[in-house]
A and B are shown apart, each in its own frame.
Chain A
Amino acid sequence: MAKVYLFLGLLLLILLILPLFLSQYLLGIFVFIFYYAYLGQSWNILTGYTGNISLGHSLYVGIGAYTSTVLAISLDLSPWIGMFIGGLGATFISLIMGYLAFRFGLRNVYFVLITIAFAEIGRLIALHLKPLGQFMGLFIDFKPGWANFQFKGNLPYYYIGLGFVVFSLIVVRVIEVSKLGRYFVALREDEDAAESIGVNAFRYKMIAVGISSFMTALAGTFYANYIFYLHPTSVMSMGFSIEIILRPIIGGLGTLFGPLIGSFLITPLAEISRSFFAKAGFEGLHVVIYGFLLIISVLFFPRGIYAYIKKVLSPVLMRSSRSTLSLTGRGKG
């Protein structure tokens, strides 16, 4: 493992120095890489590790973004504090949903559907709330300064985004090596078997939902203060939930580096193709490509790209590679 940490340290060092050589445009792309890597990692805690697919994570981003923004506008509260209040709000909502879903034993597709239902209800309510700007959306005044979480240029956002990613990697790594992570994976592989040897499925799924939603909501504040405009169809829609899940799936579900690798691959592609196709008059073509990527990655690389990278790198970096189990069951055997 020491070599892996060394490698990661080097990578971090490069990323810390990199902005010296980047233009504002490239910095912006990196900000989005970090943003989606962080979101994917947060979603990965719930879906990748415990196996409950959530298609409603945009709800938590929305709650985080709106809570800190509304508090900043009405009470002049710093978004740095509002961020954690939003996180707690999202955790609260997610625990209500988790309690209902898990107490009544909803699994698989039924869980997916209840996450969609909650997110859609949230989006519809947000569309009709006066303080959130209703159908017009909410514009955020630009008051640069550390206390306001707003800055000129992309550089501070780059470092904050990088900080978010490092934070999420540490959280997931700590979970992974602790008992908690083992319980999560046991639940993912076979919930009934895990319960039969005494893993409290309800409790650990609740913990996973809570951590995941809290971390997701923090990213909402970041987004709000980077874009300065919030609308329920952009931060709370199912399309955005799909954006969140795309990167970890392609990178590798239930792996530490999957979301990061997925984001490094997909986000620049998405940003460049979005602007390229929009200029060429093919609005929406990049989403068609997303669709094909989702299908192809599940059909042909169900374990994600990380599994292949790992195979190449493991002789260099690790003495023994632990077998990774996949959601599709193909990794067993």
Chain B
Amino acid sequence: MSSSFVLQLVISGLLMGGVYSLIALGLSLIFGVMKVINFAHGEMMVWGMYIAYTILLFTGIDPFFSLVVSAGALFVLGYLFQRTVVNRIIEFPEAMQVIPMVGAALIFENGARLIWGPDYRSPASKFALSSLWIGEIMIDVPRLLAFLIAILIAALVFLFLKYTDIGKAIRSSADNRLGALLVGTDVNRVYAVCFGIGMACVGAAGALLVPLVPLAPHIGPPFTLISFIIVILGGMGSLMGAMVGGLIVGIAESVATIFLPSSLKQIVSFSLMVLILLFKPKGLFGR
């Protein structure tokens, strides 16, 4: 097999990996701050996709622009969800937190099924079929755009956490909850905002995926699992780890299609996750 074919797969995997990174970034941020694993992550991303899809359907605005709306809507959803459910289970033992989060995942997935129906949809957006050629390598324009925007959003999140007051409050609550409380941080509000930001990341990522992935209510769980894999690979709570892990998983899944049917490509990432869990459970960037 030609090396350009492999390079092609690596590049398309890398571009997809950028979006994976953004999804995992939200999960890792939430875990890093609240020590809660969001089992409804992929399901919430599907809501981001459906919001962008609905806007495309009714107004014709491309998902690359309407991602602002899906991110905003998911921020509100995340904020409310944190306030009503997540905040009450933060003190529970880790194992017991899993169950309500799984419950939320069921609600989101089947809520989407009730609203938008169970069928696959792949809306035609403007750039859907355009592509660039660099030498022998073809690059999907929507993939490239999705990658660039995802990296841009991730960078914005990093800057937000680093330089704004609320970002600093989020980081301080993550480092030391009691200390943050002592200096007068409204930790509950900070947590809710943080959950909202995590959800905004997946909302935006969902919008970016609309031109790339056929949309259906049940595609959420695989994305939840992919984001778990990425976050474990990168290290739970490490934002840099989520970014790098996303790219690695994207490339691994894409290259795996050389020797496996594409419906089996997830086996590679699951095996990766099992290996990481066993030999370096803190992940590549874990503290």
Contact = CB atoms under 8 A, between A and B. Distances in A.
A242 interface: yes
B267 A55 contact: no
Contacts of A93: none
Contacts of A128: 261, 263-264
B99 A294 contact: yes
A302 B88 CA distance: 12
Given A291-B106, A298-B100, A299-B100, A117 B273 contact: yes
Interface residues of B, number: 42
Nearest to A118: B274
Contacts of B98: 53, 55, 109, 112
A113 B270 contact: no
B89 A100 contact: no
Interface on chain A toward B: helix, strand, loop, or mixed SS? helix
A282 interface: yes
Chain B interface mostly: helix
A284 B110 contact: yes
Interface string A99-111: 0110011101110
B95 A53 contact: yes
Interface size class of A (residues with CB under 8 A): 35 or more
Contact of B267 (A110, A124, A249, A283): A124
A109 B118 CA distance: 31
Contacts of A298: 89, 92, 96, 99-100, 103
A112 B225 CA distance: 12
B129 interface: no
B111 interface: yes
Given A113-B273, A295-B100, A284 B93 contact: no
B34 interface: no
7 contacts: A109-B94, A114-B274, A287-B106, A294-B99, A295-B103, A295-B104, A299-B89
Interface of A: 51-53, 55, 100-101, 104-106, 108-110, 112-114, 116-118, 120-121, 124-125, 127-128, 238, 242, 245, 249, 282-285, 287-288, 290-295, 298-299, 302, 327-329
